[in-house]
A = this chain, B = another copy of it.
């Protein structure tokens, strides 16, 4: 039984952390029933069923991620930059017409420099990582399908850029001409670094990815996947360095991707610190939970 359950419900995964009265994690639950796998009218039933052994009457469930998007359970309006954790806490959306206390954290929107950028879920990781590191200003990278570079000043997200790095890599390595030259999906660090070196040269991504084909017989087909990964992650870093001043950054993410980004950022002479995404999320969520308790006089 628990006071607080945190749910990160993304496009293709569901993850929950069940916390006890001291806000320590006592259970974790995950499934690949992402919000795309759940019908609009079945979110409630799915959630209650998967959490049934952990719910009590006063439990509060706080959810982040794409579950708050147009195709999710309820669309929550974005909070605009400059966005703080305390602003987020005032914009939580409570799911109406159900007996459980379920809240969705709004996403964050940036409208700077004539562009639009969007996040849902990463914001709680960022504010949590700030707390864990006791920082007010920082540059964050959240690697992934849609890798995000996020600038924080005075504990506010002031701007960010999304890069479709992971999605482009997956498409190229499985659906393009290059797929025929790939015989292994194991990362070889030397070939990854060769890809980084190529990314640093003066041609662009559209040309460099062709090199993964043209050089396949030289680097070996078992290394093309790594070479391509180095090219694409390297291009993300090269371009983002032009946008953000970032001599040191904080990576929040899963360990395998963190490792590749660590090598790549080192190559581009950017210092890094890493923070676990789950720990970071929990740190923010505890703050949001306290706000909910205070403002709604729960407990």
Contact = CB atoms under 8 A, between A and B. Distances in A.
Given A117-B214, A163-B210, A211-B115, A239 B203 contact: yes
Contacts of A207: 161-164, 239-240, 243
Contacts of A236: 204, 206
Interface string A151-174: 000000000011111011001100
Contacts of A240: 203-204, 207
What bracket does the count of chain A residues touching chain B fall in?
A: 35 or more
Contacts of A52: none
Contact of A206 (B165, B177, B211): B165
A26 interface: no
A138 interface: no
Interface in A232-254: 232, 235-236, 238-240, 242-243
A204 B171 contact: no
Interface string A247-270: 000000000000000000000000
A146 B69 CA distance: 36
A214 B171 contact: no
Nearest to A242: B202
A210 B171 contact: no
A209 interface: yes
Contacts of A206: 147, 163-165, 168, 205, 232, 235-236, 239
Interface in A108-130: 113-118
A97 interface: no
Nearest to A236: B206
B243 A203 contact: yes
A99 interface: no
Interface of A: 113-118, 146-147, 161-165, 167-168, 171-172, 175-177, 198, 201-207, 209-211, 214-215, 218, 232, 235-236, 238-240, 242-243
